[in-house]
């Protein structure tokens, strides 16, 4: 199926400077939001604590719920509407982890029914200890880091036939991260430093396709996290799953464009690289748009009809699909042109 003319010739590369400043602006706004909010609003998966989902038969006010919580020493808990207003469901979050044997559920039920004068049902209780939350945070960071490294091995091997070189570099970085982790170095700082070192090493080893891919993927992840911070959305384990899904989706788009660039380099070897890259993007444009639109249709449906549990997961995927499609065209491909400029200087 093709709804874009085969001979279309949009000047994507001519707009690369505008796209560069746009990407920098989105990343900067996201980072500033993270600084302003003091980091992401972590869910109980990562921060530890207790989450309770409750349902009333009739409408109640949040102030009434908080008044009831105050009688059992949980006045500082956060309470928010869950789902649609007519559902009369609420989420209660407290930083304290309560064991199931402490009569926590029954005490809360009695206190809230007394304060609201309404019958109430406790639909779920989730509890995570602070140490478990810390371990999950670290494992989530490692999962994203390892995913990016293994992707670069695949890209280097497929497009540049440098399987061994990229494998050795990735193994060295993983070993260094593991070694520093034994000395109790801050994991977020460690992963951030390792990614910066990865980019520098790839630049000097001239693994241009791998660097283009990893920069695009980091761009997608950072912008998605930044938008979660801007909207002050809760960051949980399902969002980590969404980020890894975004990485896979964006990589798929990038590989399609890279594959066409490699083919056209042989076909139009006398043409400038900018022409080849731009032509390759135009030739794969129909496929890119069709894939993005069909995937978006499913995710948008999940966002509006999937219910409160899956709402944030679908939101992350919507942002990731849009940003991932953009980065395949305006982030990954132009990096190949940066190498051409470096080669000319040499």
* Residue ranges covered by each domain of the chain: 13-43+132-345, 49-128
Is residue 247 a contact partner of residue 295, using CB atoms and an 8 Å limit?
Answer: no
Q: pLDDT tens-digit profile of 109-122?
A: 889 998 888 888 98
Which residue has 């997608």 as its token pair? 220
Is residue 167 a contact partner of residue 120, using CB atoms and an 8 Å limit?
Answer: no
Instruction: Extract the tokens encoding 332.
Output: 């990954």
Q: Which of 262, 178, 169, 179 is nearest to 214 (CA)?
A: 169
Burial of 174 (0-12, 13-18, 19+ CB in 10 A): middle
What pLDDT score was predicted for residue 346?
54
SS3 per residue for 237-306: HHHHHHHHHHHHHHHHHHHHHHHHHHHHHHHCCCCCHHHHHHHHHHHCHHHHHHHHHHHHHHHHHHHHHC
- 124 in helix, strand or coil? strand
How far is Cα 310 from Cα 115, in angstroms, rounded to an integer? 30
Q: Any bridge partners for residue 140, and if so which?
A: none
How far is Cα 59 from Cα 116, in angstroms, rounded to an integer? 9
What pLDDT score was predicted for residue 324?
92
Give CA separation, 198 vs 18, 170, 218, 336, in Å. 26, 8, 12, 17
Architecture category of domain 13-43+132-345 in CATH? Up-down Bundle (1.20)
Is residue 251 a contact partner of residue 244, using CB atoms and an 8 Å limit?
Answer: no
Where do the H-state alpha helices sit in the chain? 16-37, 44-47, 62-70, 104-116, 130-160, 163-182, 187-204, 208-230, 237-267, 273-283, 285-305, 308-327, 333-345
What pLDDT score was predicted for residue 220?
94
The pTM score is: 0.85
What pLDDT score was predicted for residue 344?
54
Return the number of other C-beta atoms located less than 10 Å from residue 9's C-beta.
10
Q: Which of 249, 261, 269, 267 is nearest to 316 (CA)?
A: 249
CA angle 312, 315, 320 (to 5 degrees): 130
Burial of 74 (0-12, 13-18, 19+ CB in 10 A): buried
Do 13-43+132-345 and 49-128 fold alike per CATH? no
Residue 2 backbone zone (phi > 0: left; psi -120 to 50: alpha; other: beta): beta
What is the CATH code for 49-128?
3.30.70.3400
pLDDT by residue, tens only, the chain of 346 residues: 556 676 778 888 888 889 999 999 999 999 999 999 888 888 888 877 888 899 998 889 888 999 888 888 887 788 888 877 788 899 998 877 765 545 778 888 889 998 888 888 988 888 887 777 778 888 888 888 888 888 888 888 888 888 888 888 888 888 888 887 777 777 788 888 888 888 888 888 888 888 889 999 999 999 999 999 999 898 988 999 999 999 989 998 899 999 999 899 888 888 888 899 999 999 998 888 888 999 999 999 999 888 777 889 999 999 999 999 999 889 988 888 877 655 555 5
What pLDDT score was predicted for residue 222?
93
């Amino acid at each position: 199926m093709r709804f874009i003319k085969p001979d279309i010739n949009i000047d994507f590369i001519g707009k690369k400077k505008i796209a560069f400043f746009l990407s920098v602006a989105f990343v900067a706004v996201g980072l500033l939001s993270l600084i302003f909010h003091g980091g992401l609003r972590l869910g109980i998966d990562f921060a530890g604590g207790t989450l309770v989902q409750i349902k009333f038969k009739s409408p109640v006010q949040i102030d009434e719920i908080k008044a009831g919580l105050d009688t059992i020493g949980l006045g500082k808990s956060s309470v928010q509407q869950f789902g649609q207003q007519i559902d009369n469901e609420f989420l209660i979050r407290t930083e304290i982890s309560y064991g199931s044997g402490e009569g926590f559920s029954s005490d809360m039920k009695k206190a809230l029914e007394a304060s609201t004068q309404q019958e109430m049902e406790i639909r779920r209780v989730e509890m995570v200890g602070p140490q478990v939350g810390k371990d999950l945070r670290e494992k989530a960071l490692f999962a994203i880091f390892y995913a990016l490294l293994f992707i670069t091995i695949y890209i280097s091997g497929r497009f540049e036939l440098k399987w061994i070189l990229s494998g050795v570099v990735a193994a060295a970085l993983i070993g260094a991260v593991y070694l520093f982790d034994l000395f109790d170095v801050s994991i977020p700082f460690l992963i951030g430093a390792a990614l910066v070192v990865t980019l520098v090493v790839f630049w000097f080893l001239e693994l241009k396709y791998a660097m283009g891919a990893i920069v695009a993927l980091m761009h997608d992840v950072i912008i998605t996290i930044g938008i979660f911070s801007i909207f002050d959305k809760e960051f949980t384990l399902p969002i980590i799953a969404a980020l890894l899904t975004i990485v896979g989706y964006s990589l798929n788009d990038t590989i399609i464009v890279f594959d066409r660039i490699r083919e056209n380099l042989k076909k139009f070897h006398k043409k400038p690289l900018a022409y080849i890259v731009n032509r390759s993007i135009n030739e794969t444009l129909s496929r890119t748009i069709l894939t993005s639109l069909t995937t978006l249709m499913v995710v948008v449906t999940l966002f509006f009809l999937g219910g409160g549990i899956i709402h944030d997961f679908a939101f992350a995927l919507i942002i990731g699909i849009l940003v991932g499609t953009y980065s395949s065209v305006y982030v990954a491909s132009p990096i190949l042109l940066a190498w051409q400029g470096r080669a000319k200087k040499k």
